[in-house]
Amino acid sequence: MQIPVFLCVMAAVGLLLGAGGGLAAPMECHFDSRAQCEFGGRRYSLGDSWMDEACMQCTCLHPVGVGCCQTVHHPVDFPAWCEVRVEPVTCRASLVQSTDPRRPCEPGHAHLDPGHAHLDPGHAHQDSGHAHQDQLES
């Protein structure tokens, strides 16, 4: 590898790592040496960045290509009855209930499955106790 090419690649890596812009820490990055510094009908110069429709922050590394990094943090540990939704305008991820995406999955309520009542044994015991007491009173 020639020294100037090596220096260009090292500069490109530095620009990618520093191009976060405070949006989010990059999760996954890719580099395209054949890509042009164009997006949405606009031309970009060396070091300029833009956000594409897939919430990837891209940086012009002309003349060596374009580097893009994912900016959305996807949760990995959540109840099976929840799903991740990404807001296309803000590129923010949130957890919503699979059966009703208008309702959020709230932290600390992992035992509340809307399709199966309470899954937490402590809550199930309390609920059955209330049902038994209601039968005795009637």
- Please tell me the distance from the alpha carbon of residue 78 to that of residue 64, in angstroms, as a whole number: 40
- pLDDT digit string (tens) for 22-74? 334 447 899 999 999 999 999 999 999 999 988 999 999 999 999 999 998 88
HSE, side-chain direction, 13 A CA sphere, residue 108: 0
- Please tell me the distance from the alpha carbon of residue 39 to that of residue 93, in angstroms, as a whole number: 24
What pLDDT sits at residue 106? 76
Q: Would the pLDDT of 79 be above 60?
A: yes
Domain boundaries, the chain: 3-70, 82-137
What pLDDT sits at residue 65? 96
H helix or E strand, kind and range, residue 59: strand 56-60
- pLDDT digit string (tens) for 83-131? 999 988 889 999 999 999 999 987 665 555 555 544 443 444 344 444 4
